[in-house]
Chain A
Amino acid sequence: MSGRRIRLLIWKEFLQLRRDPLLLRLLFIMPIAQLILFGYVVAADVTNLPTAVVDLDRTATSRALSAHFDASDYFDVVARPAESELQPLMDTGRIGIAIVIPEGTQAALDRGETAPVGVVVDGSDSQVASVGSGYASQIVARFNAERMAGQGVQLAAPGIDARVRVMFNPTLAAVNTMIPGLVAAIVMLSIMAVMGQAVVKERERGTLEQMFVTPIRPTEYLIGKVTPYVLVANVQLLLVALVGVFWFGVPFAGRISVVVAGLALFMLTSIGLGLLISLVSNTRQQAQQLMMLFMLPSFVLSGFIFPIDSMPAAIVPLTWFVPLTWAIQILRGAFIKGSGFEALGTQFLVLTAFAVVLFGAAVAATHRRLAE
């Protein structure tokens, strides 16, 4: 093992990177673009839903209910159409939800009956539909409670006083879970994207043979090849973490050592996976496509964007085979819950296994390839 040979190879890789200034710039624009998109779009809560109120009752009660919707942050009453105009409004997507207050609502309430209120949601947008109908039910419940209190109906009856408390992330800001996940995703994306191309590129250009005739050993070749991109990835994720903490105000509750250990294991896993792809591919395009084939299930199944909790039970075991799943659990645990090594024991064990197997396989395969 010669430090000089490794340094020279690292230098060569950096020179190569510098020759493509666009790529270098993109490597740093990419994480920031992802951060903004994920932080502002994916983590956005559903608010100001364009809402139509169809008031067929035209009484003080119906106006009060409609005012409740208007006053809430979730709904933005943009139209008060007749019932027949509802369909075209929703067809063109100008409204996402409609509240229909039937005729005779106030009269029914005054008789002490239960009166229905129609809530029509646009099912072609499933998040709007489920969140919107939930909020609408909440507003109706609050309206009921205020109405009862206003009438002085105070039953001296038993009841349940439920104190509901959200732990770790009391504001329920989605960006707080997004950023730790994004850190892991960026490691995977940038390391795999570059490693996947690394060996196959030299082979395509015929420079791999030149490597063989130099005195460089496989291990040295590997270290020299990997180091520059690991450095780049580290700068990227530092950037993301800093912007996350200082711009988006993501709290960091945990220990740095947990994060570093988790990321190191995950980097080894990603390097291994990237190298394996590079070694089995004949052209760079194949490597690129094989990577997409890996990347996509990782993003969908890891719980990075779509919570594992809402996946069907049959799918959940599949998520265990995705290394990103475990990395994200470690980072989220450390960032949000302040979990230590004891609590994340299983996650660390699984990720270590992934790292050993994949990185080991990649090293063995590189050796075989270079020895040929």
Chain B
Amino acid sequence: MSAATRIGALIVKEFRHLGRDRRTLAVVLALPVLQMILFAYAISFDVTNVSTVVIDQDRTPASAAYLRSYASSDFFRVVGTADGLADVDRIFDRNEARIAVVVPAGFGRSLAAGEQATVAVYLDGSEPTAARVGRGFAVALNQAYGQSVAVEWADAQGLDVTAAGQLEPRVRTWYNPERRSSDFLIPGLMVVIIMVVAVQQTAVSLVREREQGTDEQLAISPLRGWEMMIGKLAPWTLLAFAELAAITAVGVWFFHLPLRGSLGVLALGAALFVFCSLGLGLVISAVAPTLESANMLGLLLSILPAFILSGFAFPLGSIPVALQAFSWLFPARFMVAISRGVFLKGAGVAELWPELLTLAGYAVVVIAVAVVLSARRRR
């Protein structure tokens, strides 16, 4: 019996396992689609429409006009009015609003007299992202409003206010001019999904054989160690690739994700990355004594780093150096760079060769470790 026949037989066995457990197969296939929809629709880092209450203690046309500028902005969504400062505490406590604008009595009079009128803006800091962006918007809105009040006033007084030149930032966003979060997330999402599926499934595959006692049957079969690895890896490699193709297709046709680079480079990177993930799963499988610890180890070594240390959603530029170094121990980070480079930047081998090379090296090392560890385990 040749090696090819033996490996082929094992692959057929693995596929039968998969086919028998229809529910697992359904979940494995449905999970990526669910993830994709959830992430693409629910996650956005652009904060808009933050609930705001306004407290007008002045009740003059000037204060009403000032508060209207909040209602007409995209950032603030005025959800109600309140009477006094005591209400602000209650409103923040009950999460009814995140921002409160208080216009004290005398606002209109101060402006009419040509003085600085004071207003107070309170932000709920328990949601730091929204609060940080909100602070910026509140300052900007007040600056602009103050300027327009000053210009109007100076115009009325017959003064010339154009004397001072101003710099004006013009922001251009490359690669993703509309800043759609789906453009940003989907290339990284496929990395997370492959990691979840490939590592989790292979992590339990050897452990399950062991727990069910079928590993002894495999051990007395003429299968060699590396043949078994290939047989175990092949079905999941195919499945991971099918999912990758599905994600790419849905991303490009449904979410209109631009594919600017070559599909070949993406496929090459993905193949290397799938091997890295499967290798990692096999290492876990060789180390873990039970199914539970295999699951837990898979979570700790693959899903958590893929989710957090890959740059998929959270920028890695400002994390501590020690964690920075730690993130290079996991292949996900390199694949996110490749995937984003190919999709959004149209990068090719010329730009991405360091990442591709790293993944290739990683794959060789991790699969070698897996073969050695499980051989030792079998002995």
Contact = CB atoms under 8 A, between A and B. Distances in A.
Interface of A: 20, 22-23, 26-27, 29-30, 33-34, 36-38, 40-42, 44-50, 65, 90-93, 96, 105, 108-130, 133-134, 136-138, 140-141, 143-144, 147-148, 151, 153, 155-170, 172-174, 176-177, 193-194, 197, 282-286, 288-290, 292-293, 296-297, 300-301, 305-307, 309-313, 315, 318, 329, 332-333, 336-337, 339, 343, 346
A26 to B, nearest CB: 4
Contact of B174 (A122, A172, A194): A122
B73 interface: no
Interface in B199-219: 200, 204, 208
Contacts of A114: 165-168
Nearest to B320: A40
B309 A159 contact: no
Given A41-B316, A285-B24, A310-B47, 15 more contacts: A26-B296, A37-B308, A48-B318, A120-B172, A128-B315, A128-B317, A136-B171, A140-B169, A141-B143, A159-B147, A165-B122, A169-B131, A174-B129, A296-B35, A333-B95
Given A30-B296, A130-B45, A289-B24, A158 B319 contact: no
B181 interface: yes
Contacts of B72: none
A96 B131 contact: no
A167 B92 contact: yes
Nearest to A48: B318
Nearest to B165: A109
A157 B114 contact: yes
Given A123-B344, A173-B128, A133 B304 contact: no
B296 A27 contact: yes
Interface in B290-314: 290-293, 295-297, 299-300, 304-305, 308-309, 311, 313-314
Interface in B321-341: 323, 337, 340-341
Contact of B309 (A37, A127, A143, A147): A37
Chain B interface size range: 35 or more
Interface of B: 21, 23-24, 27-28, 30-31, 34-35, 38-39, 41-51, 66, 90, 92-95, 98, 110-133, 135-136, 138-140, 142-143, 145-147, 149-150, 153-154, 159, 161-177, 179, 181, 183-185, 187, 196, 200, 204, 208, 287-293, 295-297, 299-300, 304-305, 308-309, 311, 313-320, 323, 337, 340-341, 344-345, 347, 351
Contacts of B38: 296-297, 300-301
B268 to A, nearest CB: 18
B317 A48 contact: yes
B179 A123 contact: yes
Contacts of A126: 45-46, 176, 179, 181, 184-185
A55 to B, nearest CB: 14
B135 A164 contact: yes
Contacts of A140: 167-169
A253 to B, nearest CB: 10
A174 B125 CA distance: 9
Instruction: Name, among B31, B120, B168, the residue most crowded by chain A CB atoms within 10 Å (CB to CB).
Output: B168
Nearest to B212: A204
Nearest to A165: B122
A44 B171 CA distance: 24
Given A293-B27, A307-B47, A337-B92, A169 B125 contact: yes
B118 A44 contact: no
Given A307-B127, A310-B130, A157 B169 contact: no
A337 B142 contact: no
A349 to B, nearest CB: 13
Instruction: Name, among B140, B174, B200, the residue most crowded by chain A CB atoms within 10 Å (CB to CB).
Output: B174
Contacts of B159: 155
Contacts of B119: 160-163
A170 B124 CA distance: 9
